[in-house]
Structures are given as structure tokens and as C-alpha cells.
């Protein structure tokens, strides 16, 4: 099933759903606007309700996924509404994989400053990747940092 909606002049999204007995895959393509994050939250709510995720797991998935999408929209695509962010949810056995990709240039994910270091404590930015690492059961980056993949045990 593919649904495409258009709100305002630029904000749009597409949802693709594939479900089998043992597996679920959903993909959302969003315009790079902060308002798009609401659609990701709604999809995580749907998945949580359908698969009976516990409150702690739901909270971890929600916060980490919204951080990934915010990073893709703000840093990767530089808030350019013409650029897309794709968020893919894949559920199989006892894990949910959330993959977020943007159209940006990527970043040096191996040299991100530690936000808990004394010299970084008061910085406004820099906590997103830290939260993604802490709240997921696994975080990897691909294609020079344009794609993040988080694994959550459920």
C-alpha cells in the first residue's frame, strides 16, 4: 500500500507498508521540514499499538528516531524542503530496525564531540547522536553518515 498526501505547498509524505506473517516493513518519505517529524511520531505510535511495545521500548524508539530525523532534516538536508528524508521501519523476530537517510553530504560520525565532556556541557547542539547511541541497542552509520541505522530489541 502506498499513500501520498500533500499539505501546504511543500510538506508531503509517502507511506509504504509491507506486512507478512513474520515481518513488517514501513517506509516514509518526508520533505525536510521540522513539521514532518509529527508524521514519524504518528507512525511510531501505530507500530507500538499494533505490536504491543512496552512503554520503555516505545519511549526509546520515539526519542532516538525523532533525533535521527531531526538531524537528517536540519543538518543533512539543511532544512531544504525540496530534499527528502526517508525513514524505514523493519520489524522481524525480536527487533525493530529504524533506518533514516537524507540527501546531504554526510558527516564525520567517528569524531562527534562528547556532549557529556565538561567543555561541551553548555553547548546547545550535539546531543542527538549521543541519545541515539544510548537509547538504541545498536547504531551504525553508512554512506559517509547520510544513513543511520538503529536497532531496538523488542
DSSP, collapsed to helix, strand or coil, labels residue 59 as helix
Rounded Cα distance between 134 and 115, Å, is 12
Give me the average pLDDT of each 10-residue run along the chain (154 residues): 50 69 88 96 95 96 98 97 97 94 95 89 87 97 98 96
pLDDT at residue 42, as a whole number: 96
Q: What's the pTM value of the predicted model, to 2 decimals?
A: 0.88
Record the cell numbers describing residue 26, joined without a space: 514501513
For residue 9, what pLDDT is reported? Answer: 45
What domains, with CATH codes, occur in the chain?
Answer: 2-153 (3.30.565.10)
Tell me, what's the pLDDT at 10?
45
- Are 92 and 23 within 8 A, CB to CB? yes
| CA-closest candidate to residue 150, choices 37, 69, 56 | 69
Amino acid at each position: 500500500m502506498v499513500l501520498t498526501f500533500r499539505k501546504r505547498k511543500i510538506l508531503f509524505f509517502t507511506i509504504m507498508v509491507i506486512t507478512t506473517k513474520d515481518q513488517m516493513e514501513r517506509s516514509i518519505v518526508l520533505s525536510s521540514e521540522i513539521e514532518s517529524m509529527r508524521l514519524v511520531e504518528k507512525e511510531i505510535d501505530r507500530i507500538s499499538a499494533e505490536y504491543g511495545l512496552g512503554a520503555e521500548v516505545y519511549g526509546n524508539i520515539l526519542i532516538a528516531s525523532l533525533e535521527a530525523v531531526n538531524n537528517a532534516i536540519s543538518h543533512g538536508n539543511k532544512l531544504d524542503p525540496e530534499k527528502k528524508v526517508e525513514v524505514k521501519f523493519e520489524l522481524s523476530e525480536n527487533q525493530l530496525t529504524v533506518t533514516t537517510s537524507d540527501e546531504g553530504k554526510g558527516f564525520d560520525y567517528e569524531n562527534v564531540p562528547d556532549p557529556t565532556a565538561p567543555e561541551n556541557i553548555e553547548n546547545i547542539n550535539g546531543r542527538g547522536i549521543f541519545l541515539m547511541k544510548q537509547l538504541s541497542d545498536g547504531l551504525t552509520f553508512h554512506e559517509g553518515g547520510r544513513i543511520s541505522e538503529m536497532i531496538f530489541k523488542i
